[in-house]
Chains A and B, each alone.
Chain A
Amino acid sequence: MPKKYHIKPTPAAPHFIPVGRSGIIDFEEDCLKCTTCVKKRCLYDVYKNRAYDAQTLVDSIDHQCKNCFSCIQNCPRGVLSKTINPEFLRMGDAYWKPDIIHNTWFQAETGKIPVSGAGYRGPFSGPGFDAMWTDMSEIVRPTRDGIHGREYISTAIDVGRKQHHLEFDDSGRLLREMFPLVEVPLPVIFNTLPFGNLGEGIILSLAGAARQIGSLMYVTPETYGTFLKPFKAQLIPLLPAEGFNPDSEILDGVKMVELFYTSDVWQRIQQLKDRDPQRVVSVRLPMNSEAKTIAADLARAGAEVIHLFADYQGNEFVEGDDPRFVKEALRDIHTHLVNESTRDQVTLIVSGGIALAEHLPKAIICGADCAAIDLPLLIALECRVCKRCVAGKSCPVKLQNLDSEYGSQRVVNLMCSWWSQLIELMGAMGIRDVRRVRGEVGRAMFFEDLERDTFGAIFGGQK
Chain B
Amino acid sequence: MKAEIRKTASRFRHTIGKYRVQRGKQCKSCSGCVVACPHGVHFKAGTRMGTPKDYLCVGPDACKSQDCFCVEKCPNQALNVVINPQIKALGDFRWTADLLMSTWYQAETGELPTVDLEYRTGNSGGGFDKLRFRFPEKPLQAIPADEIDTSIELNKRGDNSHRITIAIPLYQGGMSFGSVSDSTMVSRARAAMLWDTFGCTGEGGYPEFLYPFDQQMITQVATGLFGVKEETIQRVRIVEFKYAQGAKPGLGGHLLGDKVTERVAKMREAVQGSALFSPFPFHSVYSVEDHKKHVDWIKAMNPKALVSVKVSTPADVDMVAIGSYYAGAHIVHLDGSYGGTGAAPDIAKKNIAMPIEYAIPKVHRFLVEEGVRDKVTLIASGGIRTAHDVLKAIALGADGVVEGTAGMVALECTRCSSCESGRGCPRGIATTDPELAELITVDWGAQRVYNLYASWRKQIVGVLQQLGMRSIRELVGRTDCLRHLDYN
Contact = CB atoms under 8 A, between A and B. Distances in A.
A–B contact with Cβ pairs below 8 Å: the answer is: yes
Interface of A: 21-22, 42-44, 66-70, 72-76, 78, 81-84, 103, 113-125, 132-143, 145, 147-148, 150, 356-358, 362, 421, 424-425, 427-430, 442-443, 445, 450, 453-463
B110 interface: no
Contacts of B90: 67, 69
A76 B51 CA distance: 10
Contacts of A458: 361, 479, 482, 484
Contacts, number: 270
Interface in B341-381: 341-355, 357-358, 361-362
B320 to A, nearest CB: 6
A454 B336 CA distance: 15
B314 A136 contact: yes
B315 A445 contact: yes
A419 to B, nearest CB: 12
A136 B250 contact: yes
Contact of A81 (B13, B85, B126, B346): B85
Given A358-B350, A358-B351, A460-B487, A70 B426 contact: yes
Given A84-B89, A138-B311, A143-B280, A68 B426 contact: yes
A80 to B, nearest CB: 10
B352 A133 contact: yes
Contacts of B51: 78
A101 B233 CA distance: 47
B279 A150 contact: yes
B312 A120 contact: no
B288 interface: yes
27 contacts: A42-B426, A70-B426, A73-B13, A73-B16, A78-B13, A113-B345, A113-B346, A114-B345, A115-B256, A115-B344, A115-B346, A117-B342, A117-B417, A118-B405, A119-B247, A119-B382, A119-B383, A124-B125, A124-B129, A135-B314, A136-B250, A139-B285, A139-B290, A428-B249, A450-B358, A454-B362, A461-B487
A83 B247 contact: no
Contact of A69 (B247, B416, B419): B416
Interface string B402-420: 0001000000011111111
B281 interface: yes
Given A115-B254, A139-B287, A427-B251, A454 B347 contact: no
Contact of A121 (B94, B311, B418): B94
A445 B354 contact: yes
A68 B414 contact: yes
Contacts of B358: 450, 453-454
Given A132-B351, A143-B250, 9 more contacts: A43-B422, A68-B425, A116-B346, A117-B418, A120-B94, A138-B250, A139-B311, A148-B277, A358-B350
B124 interface: yes
A357 B347 contact: yes
B10 interface: yes
Contacts of A43: 422-423, 426, 436
A462 B487 contact: yes
B430 interface: yes
Sorted from nearest, which 9 A-B pairs have the closest CB atoms? A428-B250, A117-B419, A124-B126, A73-B12, A136-B250, A121-B92, A459-B487, A119-B340, A120-B349
A123 B124 contact: yes
Contacts of A75: 13-14
Given A83-B85, A136-B312, A460-B488, A120 B129 contact: no
A463 B427 CA distance: 44
Contacts of A362: 351
Contact of B244 (A136, A150, A462): A136
Nearest to A125: B126
A115 B420 contact: yes
Give the interface SS of chain A, mostly helix, strand, loop or mixed.
loop
Contacts of A133: 337, 351-354
Choose among B86, B314, B350, B362 the residue with the greatest number of A CB atoms under 10 Å from its CB: B314
A455 B277 CA distance: 37
B483 interface: yes
A32 to B, nearest CB: 12
Given A68-B427, A135-B315, A454-B361, A115 B345 contact: yes
B281 A137 contact: yes
Choose among B86, B279, B285, B347 the residue with the greatest number of A CB atoms under 10 Å from its CB: B347
A10 B387 CA distance: 47
Given A136-B249, A358-B347, A450-B354, A145 B279 contact: yes
Contacts of A21: 89
B93 A121 contact: yes
A69 B14 CA distance: 10
B388 interface: no
B288 A139 contact: yes
Interface residues of B, number: 100
B146 interface: no
B147 interface: no
B291 interface: yes
Contacts of B339: 119
B453 interface: no
Contacts of A66: 416, 418, 426
Nearest to A71: B426
Contacts of B355: 124
Contacts of A136: 244, 249-250, 312, 314, 352-353
Given A84-B88, A358-B347, A119 B14 contact: no
Contacts of A103: 346
A106 to B, nearest CB: 9
A456 B141 CA distance: 31
B323 interface: yes
A81 B288 CA distance: 54
Interface string B306-342: 0000011011110110011000000000000111111
B251 A78 contact: no
Contacts of B137: none
Contacts of B312: 136, 138
Contact of A137 (B250, B291, B338, B340): B250
A455 B485 CA distance: 11
A159 to B, nearest CB: 25
Choose among B89, B249, B340 the residue with the greatest number of A CB atoms under 10 Å from its CB: B89
A422 to B, nearest CB: 9
Contacts of B405: 118-119
B81 to A, nearest CB: 16
A459 B488 CA distance: 7
A371 to B, nearest CB: 15
Given A120-B94, A121-B93, A133-B351, A140 B287 contact: yes
A291 B290 CA distance: 49
B251 A72 contact: no
Contacts of B415: 118, 121
B337 A120 contact: yes
Interface string B233-257: 0000000000110110111001010
A124 B342 contact: no
A425 B425 CA distance: 28
A443 B353 CA distance: 10
Contacts of B94: 119-122
Nearest to A460: B488
B127 interface: yes
B471 interface: no
A143 B249 CA distance: 10
Interface in B21-65: 51
A74 B426 CA distance: 12
Given A73-B10, A133-B354, A461-B488, A119 B249 contact: no
B414 to A, nearest CB: 5
Interface string B450-480: 0000000000000000000000000000010
Nearest to A443: B315
B488 to A, nearest CB: 5
B286 interface: yes
B208 interface: no
A450 B356 CA distance: 11
